[in-house]
Amino acid sequence: MSPVKRLILLTAVVLTSACTTQHDKRIAAIEPGKTCSLEDAVFDNTPYYLSETKTDAPIGKLSRLFGSYDKAITRVHIARHDSDLSARFYDADGKEIRRDNASQSRPYAFDGKRFIINKGSSCKPGEAGVGCTWSQVELSCTRDNDLVVKEVNGGAALIALVIPLGARSSYLGLYKRVPDGSARPTIAVDAPQAAHP
């Protein structure tokens, strides 16, 4: 086979199996913890690390994953139940913030290392063709037991209605676990007034 034909064949193979990826390089540097206890955990609502351009994304604030966009939220209490993760929200004074429009629980799947929530797909069963997109959020812990939130997206499309193109991206948010001594925010209660004779 002539060099020109080889080049044409190689170009055709590369073009027909094109794939684009965009991943936060810090994901590979995270050392996972042995276990991720979400039985009764409190985390800061604002990440101490967030992938570039994701400030307004759901992973930009932990509370957004549970349906609340209230700017007064500073901490999120997560509790694991049999089939879902529930969240309670607190302000800087430790007072619970309740919102009727916030869905404060999410069903999850657990694969032994990660809790998978907010899973969505436009793909039909057994199909991964053009127009098929999917996404999910993965929760795990670092060695220091901080919360790792990874948003993963994928899909397929056609370039010029001829060349198939696969796409995959992953973004990262890291949330500090509140120390055990202050794990559960307290609600301030006014001291009773002394009775006057």
Q: In the prediction, which pLDDT does 91 show?
A: 94
Domain holding 167, by residue range, is 18-179
Whether the CB-CB separation of 49 and 26 falls below 8 Å is answered with yes
**Separation of alpha carbons 86 and 109, rounded Å:** 14
Asked if residue 188 is part of any domain, the answer here is no
Neighbour-count burial of 66, counting CB atoms closer than 10 A to its CB (0-12 exposed, 13-18 middle, 19+ buried): buried
Residue 65 or 166, more confident? 65
**Separation of alpha carbons 88 and 30, rounded Å:** 27
Asked if residue 150 is part of any domain, the answer here is yes
Asked if residue 162 is part of any domain, the answer here is yes
> pLDDT-derived band of residue 18, with 50, 70 and 90 as boundaries?
low
C-alpha distance across the termini of the chain, in Å: 108
Asked if residue 112 is part of any domain, the answer here is yes
- In this prediction the pTM is 0.73
Number of domains in the chain: 1
Asked if residue 189 is part of any domain, the answer here is no
| Helix, strand or coil, per DSSP, at residue 7 | helix
Asked if residue 62 is part of any domain, the answer here is yes
- Would you say residue 55 has pLDDT above 60? yes
> pLDDT-derived band of residue 134, with 50, 70 and 90 as boundaries?
confident
- The tokens for 17 are 């199996």
Asked if residue 163 is part of any domain, the answer here is yes
